[in-house]
């Protein structure tokens, strides 16, 4: 399936391809404050357009590039390497259009302890 999404103001829009079997709810200091629900796809299954400015935030071990809109502040996705060494995108499912967030199985991840 293809999903469309964007930040709040629309400066960053994206298309992601895949099946959403579950979303990850992380309790690290960043994700818990932002309320992200992450859906992981290979980076080549994500395409995006930036009309304004996209900013990057890194913290802790500096292995995830958290991408957010510089105008509205919404975190749309993160870029990192998966456990298998392949480039992955962690898409904030809250930015997807026309999905029922309550229908997704939520998997809790203890990022606070990592």
Residue 11 pLDDT more than 90?
yes
Residue 61 pLDDT more than 80?
no
Please report which residue ranges of the chain form alpha helices under DSSP H.
29-34
Whether 114 contacts 24, CB under 8 Å: no
Residue 103 pLDDT more than 80?
yes
Residue 51 pLDDT more than 90?
yes
* pLDDT for residue 46: 98
Residue 59 pLDDT more than 90?
no
Rounded-to-integer distance, Cα 52 and Cα 77, Å: 16
Query: What are the extents of the domains in the chain?
Result: 2-113
Residue 33 pLDDT more than 80?
yes
* Coil, strand or helix at 19: coil
What is the domain class of 2-113 according to CATH?
A: mainly beta
* pLDDT for residue 28: 86
Which residues have C-beta within 8 Å of that of residue 111, sequence separation ≥ 6?
26, 27, 28, 31
For 71-86, the pLDDT digits (tens) are: 999 999 999 998 899 9
């Amino acid at each position: 399936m293809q999903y469309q999404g964007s930040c709040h103001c629309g400066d960053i829009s994206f298309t992601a391809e895949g099946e959403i079997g579950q979303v990850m709810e992380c309790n690290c200091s960043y994700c818990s404050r932002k309320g992200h629900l992450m859906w992981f796809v290979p980076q080549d299954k994500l395409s995006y357009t930036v009309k304004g400015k996209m900013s990057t935030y890194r913290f802790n071990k500096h292995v995830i590039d958290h991408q957010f809109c510089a105008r509205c502040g919404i975190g749309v996705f993160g870029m990192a390497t998966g456990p298998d060494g392949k480039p992955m995108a962690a898409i904030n499912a809250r930015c997807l259009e026309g999905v029922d967030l309550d229908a997704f199985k939520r998997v809790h991840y203890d990022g606070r302890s990592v």
